[in-house]
Amino acid sequence: MTHAAKVLVINGSYRDDGITDQVVAAAVEALNGAGAETEIVNLRDYPIEFCLNCRECTQQPGAAPGTCVLDDGMHELIDKIETSQAYILASPTNFSSVTALFKRFMERLVAYAYWPWDNPYPKSRKTETPRKKALLISSSAAPSWMGRWFYGSGRQLDIAAKTIGAKSVGTLFTGLASAEKHQRLTPKSVARARSLAVRLIEA
Ligand SMILES: Cc1cc2nc3c(=O)[nH]c(=O)nc-3n(C[C@H](O)[C@H](O)[C@H](O)COP(=O)(O)O)c2cc1C
């Protein structure tokens, strides 16, 4: 992959400048410094409706994501996903899971499945190899080792990555993220975010 690669960040945090935003900022700064093009989509500012479970998008054959009946920002977001070479998928851990904001986005990724009514299960439209790359970012009040082992957020982010045709190159799970109202990321976490991010654009 060349350094002109475009890296799309999809961030499911509710807060400006919380721990998730800070990890994302460190990663993006490293990527920009390495010559990558980056774009951040903060889902909290992005107009996406809930999936209707109508499955219209899943009836359409072909390798391209199906077209949703809803007329909202998801069409543009899927274009951004399709034209990016790598991703950062980020969400705090709330009630052991990605945020509702991230989950709402994730359910709309059903457009990446071919699932006609007479098929008992969905088939991924993203079968090509090599897969694109994704860095997964989450955080929790609990220590990071607990978050990694006991929460669903890491696994959910991985499912979202696979759905859009990407393979995880690493997970950055920041624990003890709720000790202060305006907590700052430690220098060690900043360094880790920077070094993991660069994996996205390595050959
Ligand atoms: C509604 C809610 C639910 C939460 N649930 C959990 C949880 O189940 N486990 C945990 O360790 N932390 C939990 N937390 C703490 C968040 O994970 C933590 O505040 C978050 O990672 C900080 O991300 P941010 O700074 O980007 O907002 C919860 C916080 C909120 C507000």
For 72-105, the pLDDT digits (tens) are 999 999 999 999 999 999 999 999 999 999 999 9
The best mutation among 93, 149, 173 to test binding of ligand 1, ranked by most ligand atoms within 8 Å of the C-beta, falls on 93
What's the chain's average pLDDT?
94
What pLDDT shows up at residue 32? 96
- pLDDT digit string, tens, across residues 17-63: 999 999 999 999 999 999 999 999 999 999 999 999 999 999 999 99
Residue ranges of domains in the chain: 6-201
- C-alpha neighbours within 13 Å on the C-beta side of residue 109: 22
**pLDDT score for 30:** 97
Instruction: State the Cα–Cα distance between residues 12 and 139, nearest whole angstrom.
Output: 11
Query: What pLDDT is recorded for position 5?
Result: 86
Task: Determine if ligand 1 sits within 6 Å of the CB of residue 142.
Answer: yes
Query: Residue 1: what pLDDT?
Result: 47
Domain 6-201 indexed as CATH 3.40.50.360: yes
Residue 13 CA: nearest ligand 1 atom is 26
Residue-wise pLDDT tens digits, 107-141: 999 999 999 999 999 999 988 777 899 999 999 99
R_g of the chain, CA atoms, integer Å: 17
pLDDT reported for residue 181 = 83
**pLDDT score of 2:** 46
Return d(Cα 181, Cα 166) in angstroms, integer.
34
Q: How far apart are CA 76 and CA 89, in angstroms?
A: 17
CB 20 within 8 A of CB 91: yes
Which one of 42, 94, 95 would you pick to mutate in the ligand 1 pocket, going by the greatest count of ligand atoms within 8 A of its CB?
94
Of 120-129, 155-164, 187-196, give the lowest mean pLDDT range: 120-129
DSSP collapsed to 3 states, the chain: CCCCCEEEEEECCCCCCCHHHHHHHHHHHHHHHCCCEEEEEEHHHCCCCCCCCCCHHHHCCCCCCCCCCCCCCHHHHHHHHHCCCEEEEEEECECCECCHHHHHHHHHHHHHEECCCCCCCCEECCCCCCCEEEEEEEECCCCHHHHHHHCCHHHHHHHHHHHCCEEEEEEEEECCCCCCCCCCCCHHHHHHHHHHHHHHHCC
